[in-house]
A and B are shown apart, each in its own frame.
Chain A
C-alpha cells in the first residue's frame, strides 16, 4: 500500500518541520503573554489618564510589534508544510485537521491582524476607548488562534471524534465537540497559554531588571515588574496545575510517552517521581533487562508518580518494558506485539478491500465492507491500532527516552524556578529593596533565555515524545511524508535555516537596540 520510504526523506521532513516549529515558538509565546500585559498597562492609562502609563504601554508595544511580525512569518510556513511535506497525512486526516486551521483563520487571525493595525497606527486616529478595545482584541485574537492550532495538535496526540471511511481511505469527523473538548486539547490549550503568559511576564521582568541595573527608568521598570510579577505568578501556578492535569491525561492516552519522560523502564506500585536524574548513555536494546538500572544518579520523591497518575500510592504505573510485554490490563492497554498484530490485520482488510475495488470485484468488497467496515468491533478492537501495522518491532513504538526525559525535567525544574522568581520579585518590590538586590536583578535578566529554553523543551517533549506517531496509534511519520526527493527537502531545510537564523539575528539586534534606547519621551 505504501511505497518504500526513504528514511532520510522522513528525517529531513521532520527536521524541516521541527526547525520551523521551534523558530515559530520563539515568537508566539511572547505574543500571547505580552499582548495581555500591554493591554493591562493601557487600561491603567485610560483609567488614570497619566501619560507615564501611555509611555510605558508604547514602549512594550514597540517590542511586541518587532516580535509579532516574525511570528507571523514563521506561522504561515507551518500551516502550508502540512501539505508540502506531509501530504499523505493531509489527506488521511484533513477532514478533521483542516477544520481547526480554517476556523483559526476566520475567527482568530483576522481579529488579530485587523486590530493590530489599529493598535499600532490608531493612537492619533481613533478614540482612547476604541484603541484600548483594539489592544484587548489583539490579545484575545492571539490566544484564540492558539486555541485552534492546539485543538488540532491535541487531536494528533489523542485522535477522537472520527471514523475511518474505506472508500476515501481517510478518517472523517463525526463529532466536532469531541474534537474541540478532547481532554488533551483542554489540557494543552490551558498549559500552553499560561506558559505564554509566564514567558511574557519573565520577559518584561528581565528587561525591566536590565533598565534598573543601568539605573534608568526606575518608575517605569518597577511598575512593569509589579504587573508582570503578579501576572507571572498567577500564570506559573496555573502552568504547574495544568501540567499536572496534562500528565494525568498523558498516562491514560500516551502511556509510552509518559513512561519515557520518566525513563521508567520497569513499572511498580508506589512508583516514585524522579525530581532530578542523570541517565546512562545507553545504546542497549530497550527490552534488554540489563538496561534496568538506567540512571547514573537520581533524586526520587517516593510514591509521587503513582499518586499523580491514579491518586494513590497503590496504583501500578507501567514502565516501558511492561507496556511492550504486557500492556496494562487495568486500563485496557494491550501489549505492543498484540497491537501490531491487530494493526496488520486491519491493514490487510483494507488492502483486500481496495484491491477488490480496483479490479471491480463487487461481491468481495461488499462482503468486506459489511463484515468489517460496518462492524464496530472491527474499529474498536482492530482498526484503532492501524498504525502499528507499519512498525518493524515493538521497540519502534518507543520514543527517544533521553530526549523525552531531559526535556520534561528541564521544563518542570525551570517552571518551579520561575514561581520562585515571581514570588521573590513581589516580596522585594513590597519591601522596596529591589534596586539594592543587584544579584536578583541579574537573575531576572538571566531568566529570559531560561524561560525560552523551558518553553521549547515543552514542545520537544510533546512532539518528540509522540514518536514514532504523527497521529497516535494510527499513522507513523514514515507513512505520512510527501513523496518528494530527500534532496529537495534538504535544500529547503537549508534555505529556511539560513533565512530564519538571519531574521532571528536581525530581530534580536533590533530588540536589544530598542531596549537600550528605552521608552521615547
Chain B
C-alpha cells in the first residue's frame, strides 16, 4: 500500500496536518485573548484570581501547540522554516519574546519573593495576550499578501528589506487579519471565562465586553476576507513558475467546494456561539465559536496552500515563492512522519480526557481560597 502513496499526496497530507495545528493554535489562543482582560474585566481581586487560574490551567496547551506547529512545519516544509524564520527575523523574535514572558508569568506572579512583582508578571501576560495573536495573525496574512525575499540557487534566503519582516505591519490587509485574530481570541477568551467560572457578576461583565469584541472581530475579519477575495493571488503554473492571478483566492473557494462549505459552516458556528451567548445568555458559546474558529482557520490555510497556490509568496521575486511542492521534505521523510502522525488521535483523546477531568467543576471563589497550587 505504501508504494502507492504519492509524493503529491504526502505534501497535501502534511499541509492538512500543519493547517490543523495552526487552527487549533488560533482556537487555543483564547488563553492570550483572556490575558488581555485581566486588568479591566474583573471587579475585584477574587475575580482576577479566578480569571488568571482559569486561563493558567490551559496555557501549556497553547504553548505546546505552538511548539508542535513549529516542529511539524520544520519537518514537513523545511524551506518555509528556513526562509520565513531566517528572513522575517524580527517578526518571529517578537512573537517568541511575547511567549517567553508568558511561560513564567503564571507560575511566578503570585509567588513570594518573585523580585519583579506581581504587576510586572501581569503586564507580561497582557503583552503576550495582545502581541502574540496580533503578530501571529499579521504573519499568517503574508501567506496571502506576500513577503520580500529571494532564494538563491542553494535555496538560501535573502530578505529584501532591512526590517526583517516588520514591514508586514505597513500592509493594511495584514494588520486587518492581525486585529481580527486578536479580537477573535479576546472573544473566545471571554466565552471561555463565562464557561469555566461560576460568578454571576463576572459573567455579566464578560457579557458586556463580548459584544464590542465580537463586533470588532467581525469587522476586521470581513475587511481581510473581502480584500483577499477581490485581489490578485499567487498561482502556480504546471511548470512550477508563479504568476499573479485575479481573484485567485475566490477561485480557490469555488474550485474547492468542500473547503467553501467547511469555511461557511465554520463562520456560522462562530456566529452561533457568539449569538447564543449574547441573545440567549448561553454559557456554552465557547464550544461553537471554538469549533468554528478551528474550521475557519483550517479552511483558510487550505485556500492558501492547495489548488496550485504559493502558500508563502514573495512579491520581491515571484519565483522564489514557496509552494507545498517546492518547500516540502523528501518523500521518505513525509512518509515516515505520516506514520508518526497516526498517533495524533490518541494524543487528542488523552488531552480531552485530562481536560474534562480538570474542568468538570467550574472555578469558584471558594475553590480558589482552598487551592494550594494557585497562580
Interface residues of B in 220-266 (CB under 8 A from A): none
Looking at chain B's contact residues, is the secondary structure mostly helix, strand, loop, or mixed? helix
Q: Does A116 contact B (CB under 8 A)?
A: yes
In the complex, the answer to whether B108 meets A106 with C-beta atoms within 8 Å is no
A70 to B83, CA, bound (A): 28
Bits for A501-521, please: 1 = Cβ < 8 Å to B, else 0.
011011101101110010010
In the complex, the answer to whether A102 meets B113 with C-beta atoms within 8 Å is no
Known contacts A484-B164, A485-B162; is A503 also within 8 Å of B81 by CB? no
In the complex, the answer to whether A507 meets B108 with C-beta atoms within 8 Å is yes
Q: Does B360 contact A (CB under 8 A)?
A: yes
A69 to B74, CA, bound (A): 24
In the complex, the answer to whether B104 meets A507 with C-beta atoms within 8 Å is yes
Known contacts A65-B107, A84-B93; is A165 also within 8 Å of B330 by CB? yes
In the complex, the answer to whether A70 meets B104 with C-beta atoms within 8 Å is yes
List 8 A-B pairs, Cβ < 8 Å: A72-B63, A80-B92, A86-B86, A99-B333, A121-B358, A168-B155, A354-B153, A510-B108
Q: Which residues of A contact B135 (CB under 8 A)?
A: none
In the complex, the answer to whether B68 meets A110 with C-beta atoms within 8 Å is yes
A251 to B158, CA, bound (A): 39
In the complex, the answer to whether B63 meets A113 with C-beta atoms within 8 Å is yes
Number of A-B contacts (CB under 8 A): 273
Smallest CB-CB separation from B61: which chain A residue? A113
In the complex, the answer to whether B153 meets A499 with C-beta atoms within 8 Å is no
Interface residues of A in 43-97 (CB under 8 A from B): 58, 62, 65-66, 68-70, 72-77, 79-80, 82-88, 90-91, 94-97
Q: Does A174 contact B (CB under 8 A)?
A: yes
In the complex, the answer to whether A483 meets B156 with C-beta atoms within 8 Å is yes
A19 to B334, CA, bound (A): 32
Q: Does A378 contact B (CB under 8 A)?
A: no
- B334 to chain A minimum Cβ distance, whole angstroms, is 9
Q: Which residues of B contact A113 (CB under 8 A)?
A: 60-61, 63-64
Number of interface residues, chain B, beta carbon within 8 A:
77
A97 to B337, CA, bound (A): 12
Bits for A85-127, please: 1 = Cβ < 8 Å to B, else 0.
1111011001111110111111101111111111011110110
5 extra A-B contacts, CB within 8 A, seeds A69-B107, A107-B340: A72-B63, A79-B74, A87-B82, A103-B71, A115-B354
- B314 to chain A minimum Cβ distance, whole angstroms, is 15
Q: Does A377 contact B (CB under 8 A)?
A: no
A87 to B67, CA, bound (A): 17
- B13 to chain A minimum Cβ distance, whole angstroms, is 13
Q: Which residues of A contact B108 (CB under 8 A)?
A: 66, 69, 506-507, 510
Q: Does A172 contact B (CB under 8 A)?
A: yes
Smallest CB-CB separation from A137: which chain B residue? B350
Tell me the B residues contacting A by CB distance below 8 Å.
57-58, 60-61, 63-64, 66-72, 74-76, 78-79, 81-87, 89-90, 92-93, 96-97, 99-104, 106-108, 111-116, 153-159, 162, 164, 329-330, 332-333, 336-337, 340-341, 343-344, 347, 350-351, 354-355, 357-358, 360-361, 371-373
Smallest CB-CB separation from A483: which chain B residue? B158
In the complex, the answer to whether A110 meets B71 with C-beta atoms within 8 Å is no
In the complex, the answer to whether B372 meets A123 with C-beta atoms within 8 Å is yes
Q: Which residues of B contact A495 (CB under 8 A)?
A: 97
Q: Which residues of B contact A99 (CB under 8 A)?
A: 75, 329, 333, 336-337, 340
Interface centre among A82, A94, A118, A173 (most CB of B within 10 A): A94
In the complex, the answer to whether A87 meets B337 with C-beta atoms within 8 Å is no
In the complex, the answer to whether A101 meets B351 with C-beta atoms within 8 Å is no
- B51 to chain A minimum Cβ distance, whole angstroms, is 15
Q: Which residues of A contact B340 (CB under 8 A)?
A: 99, 102-103, 106-107
Smallest CB-CB separation from B354: which chain A residue? A114
Smallest CB-CB separation from A62: which chain B residue? B373
**Residue of A73, A84, A357 touching B89 (CB-CB under 8 A):** A84
In the complex, the answer to whether B96 meets A98 with C-beta atoms within 8 Å is no
Known contacts A102-B68, A130-B357, A484-B89; is A91 also within 8 Å of B159 by CB? no
Known contacts A85-B86, A90-B85, A488-B164; is A358 also within 8 Å of B329 by CB? no
Known contacts A110-B351, A114-B350, A354-B154; is A77 also within 8 Å of B100 by CB? yes
Q: Which residues of A contact B104 (CB under 8 A)?
A: 69-70, 73, 503, 506-507
In the complex, the answer to whether A510 meets B111 with C-beta atoms within 8 Å is yes
Q: Does A439 contact B (CB under 8 A)?
A: no
